Structure 1
Amino acid sequence: MEVQSMDKEEVAREKGIYRVTIVGSVVNFLLLLFKFFAGIMGHSAAMLADAVHSLSDFVTDIIVIVFVRISSKPEDEGHDYGHGKYETLATAIIGIILLGVGFGIFWNGASSIYRFLHGGSLQEPGMLALIAALVSVAFKEALYRYTVFKGKRLNSQAVVANAWHHRSDALSSIGTAIGIGGAILLGNHWRVLDPIAAVVVSFFIMKVAVKLLIPCVDEL
């Protein structure tokens, strides 16, 4: 009876993780489509970087779904202690992707700043890009709060890690909104605010990635 009760709890936990991850992946997919559209139509490099960040969120949602199914399997011949470490591995993969995305945003922003300082011109971002950034901040912060609450309740390290991915995207969008807003309102000489904001936010993203990776490396 006790084993059956534990099995039911594990099934309920797995379903809960699927549910919260699917909600996140649907929101991420809709946001990344809107951001790519706004970045292209609004001529904003920072918004395109933000769209790539949302794409990475969508990919990590899929990773969580796949690895949680594997980690919930019982022990077998090759896995004497079950498959729980796969969830830690999923968290590590999310951290690595975050690190890569953070560095990518940094590189793009730094390249734009370099071009601007050497006489290159930067296109003025459009109002659509600013609206997209503000919409992203609102949705991603709401998604972070929902996901971290569910992750702690379900005692899932991977879901909590994914919540931090949502929060890093919200931070990225705040920086993007400041950069785009400044570039629009302050004129030609301040268009460089767009890539500067992206560079600043990239450091926050990479810091979160390192925080996620260190405990995973220790555990694995």
Structure 2
Amino acid sequence: MEQALDKQNTEREKGIYRVTVMGSIVNFLLLVFKFFAAFFGHSAAMLADAVHSLSDFVTDIIVILFVRISAKPEDESHDYGHGKYETLATAIIGILLLFVGFGILWSGVSSIYRFLQGGSLQEPGILALAAALISIVSKEVLYRYTVFKGKKLNSQAVIANAWHHRSDALSSIGTAIGIGGAI
């Protein structure tokens, strides 16, 4: 019985790693592409979106680390195991989302303020718009895959990470609208 439970926990941990590693690869590729598109597409909005993708990559690393810790069996100082660490990872991801949201808000408000004070805004290029559209599609697909796996694996940290993917897709919609309007 105990062996079957250990095998089930090992399979769950492997499943969480697989979905999180896949997400981290997509996030890494997107953040590199977005930084490239922000620089060559002259888009402050795409730069903010790239920073958001960077935060997705960081949360993927958090999930990997905390799931490894939470999978450890009980010991002398943890009578019920280490499962609460996955809950802690979920809380950290939520806090990071909050800070990223405030950072994006600050960047947008600062740009608007500079514009209202007589500053000029550089017109973004089509590359920035393409990056936003690619991000929307890829992050929505990643969200759906990750939330499906999170429910299947019964992992709140994976589900929280899926919602982080969704928030990136939603912020990319705003970015695409802003870039498209500026073009």
Q: TM-score range by the shorter chain?
A: over 0.9
Name 2:92's counterpart in structure 1. Answer: 93
Q: How does 1:20-169 map to 2 (within 5 A)?
A: 20-169=19-168
Compute the displacement of 1:102 (Å): 0.5
Q: Secondary structure at the match of 1:107?
A: helix
**Structure 1: which 4+ aligned runs deviate by more than 3 Å?**
none
Q: Secondary structure at the match of 1:4?
A: helix
Task: Read off the aligned partner of 1:169 and give its amino acid letter.
Answer: D
Q: Secondary structure at the match of 1:158?
A: helix
Q: Secondary structure at the match of 1:17?
A: helix
Compute the displacement of 1:120 (Å): 1.0
Give CA-to-partner distance per residue, 1:135-175, whole Å, 9 cap, x none: 00000000000000000000000000000000000001000
Q: Unaligned regions of 5+ residues in structure 1, if any?
A: 185-220
Task: Read off the aligned partner of 1:121 and give its amino acid letter.
Answer: S
Alpha-carbon separation, structure 2, partners of 1:68 and 1:49: 29
Task: Read off the aligned partner of 1:34 and give its amino acid letter.
Answer: F
Compute the displacement of 1:119 (Å): 1.1
Alpha-carbon separation, structure 1, partners of 2:34 and 2:66: 28
Q: Unaligned regions of 5+ residues in structure 2, if any?
A: none
Report the TM-score when normalising by structure 1. 0.82
Moved more, 72-81 or 102-111: 72-81
Alpha-carbon separation, structure 1, partners of 2:26 and 2:111: 30
Task: Read off the aligned partner of 1:163 and give its amino acid letter.
Answer: A
Give CA-to-partner distance per residue, 1:9-67, whole Å, 9 cap, x none: 00000000000000000000000000000001111011000000000000100010000
Report the TM-score when normalising by structure 2. 0.99
Alignment identity in percent? Answer: 82
Q: For this pair of structures, how many residues does the alignment match?
A: 183
Moved more, 112-121 or 171-180: 112-121
Alpha-carbon separation, structure 2, partners of 1:21 and 1:30: 14
